[in-house]
Each structure stands twice: as C-alpha cells, then as structure tokens.
Structure 1
Amino acid sequence: MREFLSSLLSRDKSPLASSKAALAWYRRIEMLDPQTQLGKVIEVLGRYLELAPRPDFESLQALVLLDGAVQTPLEAICYQYVSNPRMAKDMEQRLWHDIVAFSQRMADCYQRFIEHEGDELYRTAGYTEQMPLVLARSLHYIAIQAKWHYFRFEKAPGKLWTLAHRFYRLSEVEGFDCNPFPLYPGRDRGVSSCADEYIQLLMLATLSANNLSVRQLDWVDQWLDNWSKLIQLNRRHQEERDHFCVNLQEAQGPQKIQADSTGEPFRYWGLFDLLHQVQETAKRLEAGVAPAELGLGADCRAPSCLELLKHLDMFWSMSIRNAQIQRSQRRDVRKAAQVLHGLDVICQQVRADNEKFSRQPVETRTQVDYDELMDMRLYGFVSSRTRSKLQQVPPSTHSRAPEYPTWLIENESEGGFGALLRYSENEWIRPGVLLGMRLGDAQNWHVGVVRRLVRRGADEVAAGIQVLSSTPVAVHIQQVQESARTKVPLAEFLDGGSAELPSPKLALYLPYKGQGGANLNTLILYGADYASDRLYRVQARERGFTVGLESVLEKGVDWTWVTLQVVK
C-alpha cells in the first residue's frame, strides 16, 4: 500500500510534472559540476520512465525545458571526452556511458510522447506545434548514440536505425520533415529540421568505417550541422544524381544502390552539392582563410582541417565513382601478403622490382620485364635496342629484402583482395590509402588502394583492397615549361635519351584497362605535383618522354591518379 501511494504521489514530486517544477529543480543543481548535473538528470529521466505516468502536455513542456537547460553540462562532458584521447580507461568508460545513457533516456522520454500522438493528447492545444521539435530532438539523440559507438569502432545498433527510420517517416507523413526551426532556441546552432537531423545521422554513418580519430569524427559531425542542408532525400531514384540509399523498413543505415533498391521503403540522395562545398572549403583554407571564418570551428587548426577535408573529398568522390559498380565474385583463400604504404616507399620497392626482373638472363627469365612492358605500351612492339640491352646486361645479385608487415588474405576477386589485419599495428590505415602488396618474395609488388574498412573486434580490422595494377613501373617526373603541345600517336614516339632529370620526383606508371576494356596510360603522383596545364618529362630508367596529364581518374589524400598522353 505504501509503494502504491508513493507511486501516486511521485508524479507531483517529479521535476517533469510541469515547467515550473523542472525549472525550480534544475536551479538547485545548476552550480554542481557538469558530470554530477548530468548524473542527476539521468536519474530523473530514469524514474520517469520506470513510473510510466500517462503523458500530458505539461510534462512535455517540462521535458523540453529540462533538455534545453542541460545542454551546457552535456557539451562540457562531450568536449572533455573528445579533447582527451589519452584519458585513463576507467574515465573514458565512465564518460562514454554517461553520454550514451543520457542520450538514450532522453530519446526514450520523447518517444513516450510520440507513441501517444494519436490519442486525445494530440488534440491538446500546443502539442501539434511541438511535434516537429520532439521528433528532431529524438533524431538528434539517436545520432549522438550512433556517433559514440563509432568512436569505439562499433556499428550503430539496429534498434537505433529502426527508431530513426520510424521518426523520420512520421515527420514525412505529418508533412513537416523539412520545416526549419531552432533545435535549441537561444543557442548558436542555427536552424535545423527533422530531415537535417536524419541526413546528418546518415552521412556520418558513411564515414563510420573510415578509421577516423575521435576528434576527426566530431569535427565532421559539427560540419554536417550546415552541410546536411546541401542534401535532399528523394523518393524517386535518379540514376545520374543519386549515390546512396536507405531502406526505411530495415534496421541498417546507408547502403549502395542495388538493382533491387526500388519502391516506397527507399530514400535516395546524391553528393554533388556536398562535395562541391567540401572542395571549395578546402580551396579557401589553402588560400589562407581561417577555419573559424569558414564555419569549421574555433578549435580547428588549418593543417588538420585541410587533411580531413581532402580525405572527405577523396572518400565521397570515390563513393560517386563507385556508386553503381557491382563487385566481382569473391573466392575464399588463405594467403599472406606483405604490405607497405606511402608513395615514396612504394616507388622504391617497385623500382627494385624493375631492376631485378629486367636483369634476369633472357633464357631463364620468367617474370615480367619492365623494359619490354614500356616498349609495348609506348610503341606497340619491343624495340631492338631493348632486346640487345637485355642480352648484354648480366644478372645482378641482391641483398636480402627488408621485412614488411604481413596481412592475412581471406578472399580474392577479379579486382582485388579482402584482408584481415591488426589495428594496433596499422593505425595509419584509411580508405583511399595507396598500398604496395606482394604475395611472396618471388612475386613483384602490386599497387592497390584501400576501399573498405570494417572493425571486427577490439584489435581486428577487415579491409577491402582494389588492385590498380600488377605491373607498375617506378618513374621520375619533372614539369617542363612549355605552353603548347601537339599530341602524337604512341607508335611514333622517339626515345628521348638517358639524361638524368634535375630534382626528380617519384611517381608510378600504371598500365590500366579503363571502361570498355580500353588500354590507358596512367600515372600516380603526389597531389602537390599535379598541374593539368603543364607538360612533364617522365624518366623510366634509361628512356625518357614528354607527356601531358589529361583526365583525373581518382584523388587520394596526398596522391592523384591521372591518364596521360605522350606529346611532341
């Protein structure tokens, strides 16, 4: 009987009984430290959910008011977590659980009112006007929970996606999904909407497997406060513009558009406007504009911001390029592959391959000869000079090759590999990183790029690698100061001699099959060395030739892959 009476009277004692009660209660704890404040709010929300009183409009107003008041301590605790990556493990766990628990309980409290939107509560004066705010804040707290899971390289739980899809769909049905309003009035966050909060959740999920640091993910999330307004969700698929889709009836986030991704459950969106904004922001940052003036945040530093913007440019450009490319069938294998990264290091090892395999005796040579390869690519035949040179050069002796990290190859396909690696030994790995891979000491180095990352455990990462070329050639390049150029057929090209280039820069020549099976001459060079309106002198061992760079196939954070044309 005592418990029954307590339950009847508990609502009157709850800070969520009315706006006045909520304000008076919060003033009593306002001077406490942020973590204690948040803990007490979590307790109040927990008791409200346990007692499960019937929702009414006064309780909703109290919840909205308390939510706005607690934003200051919440932001302080979030900042403490994000800005202190080397905190003690017990502190990290305590902060993580406080933030996630608060966000979950706040979303659950809002959901209590959403579930009753169809009964007499919905007809209460003012309740209809509050529903856009209730749904937008619910999506906001779902996004916070998802982000904190990404901080630990975990996937967002399926139940979060189920709720997010449901809340967004409800805002569509009610017709206010794109209505703008301040999410927290009086705070400098601009306006938002249910669609903006939902899109921000979706776009951050596209980067969840990018192995970004906590600070980098948090920066992108802040930038998406504004960038989300550059994306429009559509019910009808436009093949030329859409790059991602989401199924509102499945417990998962964004996915690649497939042949069966059609019908009412799907929403589609493209990245062109967002990518343009990222590229323009990076250009202005390189021109010397301060990050704060570009809306990137007062605590952002230009070099770190620029690196992250270039990564976003690379990754979302790659998403556009691969939006509708179907993956080839995979075969389960069990192999070991040596791996290295960094354009300079890859070039050095590829050059060693070029030297080693080009100096094998002609009678016993079994590997690809790179002088012959260059002749075939440039002339269409092997020149007599190359054949004579190969017969005259004696085989060379080589010292023992250095050891490189080894990854386990789990599967392979026509275009690449699926590898398993330890994160603690490969913290540098990101989508878009250029790799050198070798499946054995007797093999030559292949050139590939990391396409996908999936965190499987605390120290285990699965990576998808596309092989760009199995026969790369290391070259030296230098810009040539010429304003005009005349294209010539490759078969008419004359050897340019063996003079060494002053201050040469390293690059990789890759024979590559483009769309439709066309053979392309391509070059991977540092992004800082790329200029589309200049000629380049390319030196491949004893032969040199002049080229002009044409279309860009892909950009990495620090490298650019382009097609080239030999010129006279």
Structure 2
Amino acid sequence: MRDLLNNLFARDKSPLSSPKAAAAWCARLQEVDSQAQRERVAAVVREFLQTQRPVAPDQLQSLLLVDEEAQTALETIRDQYVANPRMAKNIEQKLFEDIVGFAESMVQAYGRFVLLETSTPEKMVWRPYLPQAIARSLHYLAIIAKWHYFRFDKVPGKLWSQAHSLYRLSEIEGFDSNPFALYGQKEGRVSSCADEYIQLLMLNTVSANNLSVRQMDWVDDWLDVWSHDVQISRRFLPDRHHYCVNLTDKQGPEKVRDDAHGEPYRYWGIFEMLNGVQEWLRRLEAGSTPQSLGMKADCRSAACIELLKHLEVYWSMSIRNAQVQRSHRHNVSKTADVVHGLDRLFKHVRADNEKYAAAQPDKAKEVVDYDEVLDMRLYGFVSSRTRNKQAQSAQHAVQVAKDWQSWNIENESEGGYGAILPIANNEWARPGELVGMRFAPEESWRVCVLRRLSRLNEFEVYGGVQVLSATPVAVQMRTDAPAHHQHATLALGDFEAIDGSALQTTGTALYVPHEIDGTSVNTLLLHSADFAAGRIYQVQARDRRFTVSLGAQLEKGVDWIWVTVTVLSQSS
C-alpha cells in the first residue's frame, strides 16, 4: 500500500502537472549530463503521450518549460554528430534515432494541444501559448528534415503534410507572423510561425546541393536570420516571387510554374534574403569574423566565404530560372568525358582550337621549335639533349591532357544532359560549377554548367547539366589596351586557333558565341577576379588582337563570370 501511495504521489508530481512542478523538475535536471537530460525529458514526453486522460490547461505551459530545458542537450548531440562525419555506423544510427525520435515525440506532444477544437474552453485558456507551440512544432519538423538531409534521404511526405497544416492553422488563427522568442536561451533571436515554416522550406531548396553535414548545419543556422527577410504571400506577383508551395500536397517547395495558381498555393521571393547573403559575404571579405556576424564558434572565414559564394550563385540562379520550363528529355545510355573548372576547360578547348587549325592547311601556321633552331646554329644538328627534352615534354603533355573523368549519361534534351556521378570522385560538384563535356576523343569539348544535383544513394549523385556552347574558343588577355578605339564586328571565325605565345598574359578566358532575343552577341567566360564593368582588355588570337570592353553580366559562378563584350578595335 505504501509503494502504491508513493507511486501515486510521484505521478502527481509529474513535471507536466503544473508550471511550478515543471520549473522545480528542470532545476534538478541540471545535476546530470546532457545525454541523461535528453533521456529524462524524452521519458516525460513518452509518459504524457501514453496517458489517455484529456489534457489539462496547465500542461501546455509546463511542456514549453520542459522543452526549453532540453535544448542544450539537443545541441550537444547535434554538435557531436556534425563534428564526426565518419563515425561508426552504429553510433551514427543511435544519434540519428535519438534526435529524430525525440523531435517526433515533441511534435506529437504539441499536437495534443494544437489539434483541439477552437471552441473548447481548455483551448481558450492556453490560446496565448499556441503561437509558440505551433512554431516549435515547425521547428522540430525542420530538425527532422535536416537530419534526413544529413543522410541525403528524402523527407517523408507525412512531414510536409504536418508542416503545411500547422502553418495553415497559424494563418487561420491570425498569428502566423506574430514575433516572439522561440526559446529564451537564444537571446536576441526573434521568430514566428512563418519564420520557422520558411526556414524549413528554404533549407529544402539546398538539400540536393551535395553539401557536407557541417555545411548543411551552417545553412540551417544562418536561415534563422535570413528567414526574417522572406514574406509568404497568398497572391502571386510575377516580378517578385520565385518559389511556391501547395498546402495540400505531400511535398516541399518548388519553382513557380504557370499552373501553380490558386488558394492551395503560397508564394515567396528571395531578393531580400539574397541581399543578406551578399552583405555577409561583403563583410567577411572585408575582414569581419564569422562570430561578429553571429555565426557559430566552429565557423571559419575561408569556409564560410566559400559556402556563401555557393549560396549566392545557387539562389541567384533560382531567381533567374524561376519560370523557365525544362525541355523534354529522352533516355540514352552513353559515357561522357568530364573536366571541371575554367583553367582545365581552357587548356582542353585550346588544344581543340589548335587541332582544328592544323586540319586546315590554308589557316595552319608553321610551328617552329626554337630549341632545334638553336641546336642547328650551334652544332649543325639537333642534340640528343634537346630530343630528350622534347620527348619528356610530349609525355608530360599526355599526362596533363588526361585529367578528365567519366560520367554515365542517362538522358538528354535540347539544351543539356542528365548524368550519374560517382560520389567518390566528385566531392567538388555543386550547382553552378563550370564543366566541360565530350562524348568521344575526336569530338571537341563543350562548355556546360552543372545546374541541379540530387543524391541517389550512398555512392551516386544525379546531376542536371546545361550546355552553354558547343563551339568555344580559348583566348588570352592583357590590359594594356590603346586609349582610343573604333567599334568592330567580331565573328567566331576571327577567333579560330588561339596562339598566345607573343602575349604577356594577365588572364585566360573562353569566347562563347551566344544569342539574346535572337541577336548574336559576343561573350566571354573569365575568372571573377578579372572582371570589372567597362574594363578594357586586348584579346589575342593567332594573327589578330581584338580590343574589347567588358559589358553586362549574364551569369556568375563561384570563381567564374560570363559577360557580354563590345569589340572596340581589331588588328593583325
């Protein structure tokens, strides 16, 4: 009988019985380590979910207090996971289950209050706490989604249905954008139901970008700030909105389509958010520390700058392509040689140009080896030393030339390809990366951009590739251009077979023929560091030099930029 009374007494003193009991229980929770804290909170929540009794008015406020106390323990587990990406599989599985299982339990616990009928007397008592309960539910759903992204898993459709329903409820109740502190421990960070919802949605937009666990965690943390710059709208504004979501679907955000209109849809644009990304990037490049911007302690300037540049490129590309329809694709089965980066692509395109010139006798030039000429003048014959040097150079050239890898192409369209990438050799792959592709050794290299990535499994990634040009020309540049010029017309044939031997090089680039609104324009792909609007360069071809002025930016990558050029003069 005594044991029974003790058990009843302990049950009455459950942390969720009243805010006062919750506060006292939380104070004692500080006596144990973070893992034990999480386990004790999880046990309290499980007991609450197993109880069949109707919820009481004080329980929601008590649950909010207990949830607050669990945050430090959850952050400790998250930091342990992020810091050890190569941990043993059984340890990784345990951490995954701990966090995802806890988050799912918290969503269910808050759901017992959130899903009550609006007219019930109990709900009227705790209605002031509903905004925080819904926002925290959305926050936990975002945690579940992020941990799926850590594993490159697809987010369950049920999660999206829950998130859409919770946000819709906050709209109906009229507090979707009301600001408040989500957790008191994060001083200075104000949130709302809309902020938590948009953070979940925007993290999904970069989930297929082949980011590391740490990078994904950083982006999630940064979205705590950037989400305030995004406004969700019921009415579609073509000039402002880039993404949408259907509140009745079991899926996340998508780019705005022509048929994505009507009540189930919500829309938002990312102009202001992108400005925030660019401001952080500007300040870091000017010498500010990540911590001065409110970033985590493990953030380092160089790594943050690289990731911010990637986000700037990717989201800028999303703005530009928000309403671009993809062309029809058909299945194929072939292999492509692939190189990445402007420098590698320049080298291969230049070799293509020289091979093209050699195949045309009327355009080919006699190649003179100055070492052989010197030997003939000194000795009357070509020395063995010179021949060995030439052989070594030829061998080295072959080794340098074979720096490509192979991708399996499974579909193609009018403007691009769908490829399967082995993860082991493609850690560099990101949307916006410049790549070169060819399908046979006798073919020329094509200039392409990697547009989309999607993790297929532990070993493979699917990539969507757009072709910019099948006829690029490698060019070399210098800045000592004349002061006065006459405008000239430039054709692709004028750039054939580049020879920069007589040029004091300050930069390399690719000439890419392009059409804008049906009109042919001259464009260059060059390193970002070589660009400034209006800057004048001399571009060297085999027998001609063109003086050009850099014009409008067409597209920007992390380390490259594509711009129009105006030809000011040309000379032999």
TM-score using structure 1 length = 0.88
Over 3 Å counting, the alpha-carbon distance change for 1:294 and 1:351 in structure 2 is same
Tell me by how many angstroms 1:21 deviates.
3.0
Structure 1 counterpart of 2:363, from 372, 389, 413: 389
Paired residues of 1:482 and 1:535 also in contact (CA < 8 A): no
Give the Cα–Cα distance (whole angstroms) in 2 for the partners of residues 46 and 188 of structure 1.
29
Deviation at 1:92, TM superposition (A): 2.1
Q: What residue number does 2:189 align with?
A: 190
Q: Give distance in 1, aligned partners of 2:114 and 2:7.
A: 23
Q: Where does residue 550 of structure 2 map in the other structure?
A: 549
- 1:505 maps to amino acid: G
1: CA distance between counterparts of 2:474 and 2:331? 32
Range with greater deviation from structure 2 (244-253 or 281-290): 281-290
Match of 2:522 in 1: 521
Query: Relative to structure 1, is the Cα distance of residues 5 and 325 closer, same or farther in structure 2, using a 3 angstrom cutoff?
Result: farther
Distance 1:256 1:497, change over 3 A: closer
5+ long unaligned stretches in structure 1: 363-387
Number of the residue aligned with 1:407: 407
Query: Mean Cα displacement is larger for which, 109-118 or 319-328?
Result: 109-118
Q: Distance in 2 between matches of 1:68 and 1:22?
A: 11
The number of equivalent residue pairs is: 535
The farther-off stretch of 138-147 and 10-19 is 10-19
Structure 2 contact 57–122 (Cα < 8 Å) conserved: no
Which amino acid in the other structure matches residue 507 of structure 2?
Answer: K
Query: Which residue of structure 2 aligns with residue 244 of structure 1?
Result: 243
Is contact 2:57-2:123 (8 Å) kept? no
Letter paired with 2:38: L
Within a 5 Å distance, the mapping from 1:365-380 to structure 2 comes to none
Q: Is residue 231 of structure 1 aligned with residue 233 of structure 2? A: no
Task: Report 1:112-131 matches (<5 A).
Answer: 112-125=112-125, 127-131=126-130
Distance (Å, rounded) in 1 between the aligned partners of 2:180 and 2:154:
30
Distance 1:498 1:274, change over 3 A: closer
2:376 counterpart residue number: none
Q: Is the 8 A contact 1:475 1:541 kept in 2?
A: no
Q: Is the contact made by 1:339 and 1:407 (CA closer than 8 Å) also made in structure 2?
A: yes
Match of 2:351 in 1: 352
1:158-211 CA-partner distances (Å, limit 9, x unpaired): 111111100001010111101001111253252110011111111111111111
Is the partner of 2:254 in helix, strand or coil?
coil
* Distance apart, 1:272 and its partner CA: 1.1
Contact persistence 1:437–1:447 (CA under 8 A): yes
Match of 1:142 in 2: 141
- Which range moved further: 12-21 or 455-464? 12-21
Any idea what SS the aligned residue of 2:31 has? Answer: coil
Alpha carbons 1:230, 1:274 under 8 Å: kept: yes
Deviation by residue 1:139-160 (Cα, 9 ceiling, x = unmatched): 1111111111111111221111
Equivalent in the alignment of 1:365: none
Once residues 17 and 482 of structure 1 are traced to their aligned partners in structure 2, the CA distance between those partners, rounded to angstroms, is 83
Other structure's SS at 2:449 match: strand
Cα distance between partner residues in 2 of 1:155 and 1:483: 58
Please, what is the CA RMSD of the aligned residues? 2.7
Q: 1:497 to 1:134 in 2, by over 3 A?
A: closer
Deviation at 1:25, TM superposition (A): 3.3
User: Could you tell me how far 1:76 is from its partner in structure 2?
Assistant: 1.6
Instruction: Please report how far the alpha carbon of residue 301 of structure 1 lies from its aligned counterpart in structure 2 after TM superposition.
Output: 1.6
Q: Secondary structure at the match of 1:148?
A: helix
Q: How far apart, CA to CA, are the structure 2 residues paired with 1:242 and 1:140?
A: 24
Q: Which amino acid aligns with 2:200?
A: L
> Residue 165 of structure 2 aligns with which residue?
166
Amino acid at match of 1:521: N
Structure 1 residues 522 and 39, CA gap change in structure 2 (3 angstroms) = same
**Secondary structure at 2:100 match in 1:** helix
Contact 1:231 1:273 in 2 (8 A): yes
Offset, 1:7: 11
Say if 1:123 and 1:103 are closer, same or farther in 2 by CA, change over 3 A.
Answer: closer
1:406-555 to structure 2, matched below 5 A, reads: 406-480=406-480, 487-490=487-490, 500-514=502-516, 516-555=517-556
Matched, 1:16 2:19: no
Q: Distance in 2 between matches of 1:351 and 1:462?
A: 29
Alignment partner, residue 64 of structure 1: 64
Cα separation, partners in 2 of 1:472 and 1:21, compared to 1, 3 Å = same
Output the CA distance in 2 between the equivalents of 1:347 and 1:97. Answer: 48
User: What TM-score do you get using the length of structure 2 for normalisation?
Assistant: 0.88
Q: Which amino acid aligns with 2:514?
A: Y
1:346-381 Cα shifts (integer Å, max 9, x gaps): 11111111111221156xxxxxxxxxxxxxxxxxxx
Aligned partner of residue 476 in structure 2, secondary structure: strand
Q: Distance in 1 between matches of 2:513 and 2:450?
A: 19
Q: Identity percentage over the alignment?
A: 52
The one-letter amino acid paired with 2:290 is P
What pairs up with 1:187-336 in 2 under 5 angstroms? 187-336=186-335
The change in CA–CA distance for 1:128 and 1:347 in structure 2 (over 3 A counts) is same
Counterpart-to-counterpart distance in 2, 1:329 and 1:37: 54
The amino acid that maps onto 1:502 is: Q
Distance 1:490 1:175, change over 3 A: same
1:278 CA displacement = 1.4
- Asked if structure 2 preserves the Cα contact closer than 8 Å seen for 1:497 and 1:544, the reply is no
Residues 460-491 of structure 1 show CA distances to partners (whole Å, capped at 9, x for unaligned) of 21110001111111111223366776644448
Distance 2:140 2:29 in 1: 23
Q: 1:494 to 1:506 in 2, by over 3 A?
A: closer
Give 1:18 shift.
2.2
Structure 1 stretch 176-185 or stretch 516-525: which is displaced more? Answer: 516-525
